[in-house]
Amino acid sequence: MNKFAQLLYGKVVYIYETTLEKKDLPRIFKPSAYWVDVTGQDVEMGDIASFDKNLGIIFTKPEQDEMTELEKNKYQLTEQYETDKDIIIKYYIDAILHDDTKTMEELKREMAKLDEQFDNDYNTLKSNE
């Protein structure tokens, strides 16, 4: 099993464990996301990433107030929503190119369900603030 950390502004914002290789991640997540292979390392969301010219990327635990559990959950929820939405959009474009109106309508319904589920989940998280 491989373990990858997504870095954003020097922080680990997402951990993904998979049998896939790093080169496959842009097909699932946003291609612009920056991933680091952390297989076998004790790296968690919220850890701080810094670079040492001799050692490479070094991960350290943040001070307590760096990223709350709620912030992590919001980020993960939003990232998953964006990934799922990107997949639906890719299939929708393919349906447009093939003039497949039946699939386009199905995908519109899927997108509406995804939007509704995201809104419900996000509002639930916000109510816990």
The domain limits of the chain are 2-60, 69-127
pLDDT band at 6, cuts 50/70/90?
very high
The predicted model scores a pTM of 0.52
Question: Who contacts 18 (Cβ-Cβ below 8 Å, separation ≥6)?
Answer: 1, 2, 4
Q: For all residues of the chain together, what is the average pLDDT?
A: 89
Tokens 């810094």, residue located: 50
- Which of 29, 34, 25 lies closest to 86, judged by CA? 29
Backbone angles phi, psi at 98, to 5 degrees: -100, 10
For 20-79, the pLDDT digits (tens) are 899 988 888 888 889 999 999 999 988 999 998 998 899 998 776 566 788 888 888 888
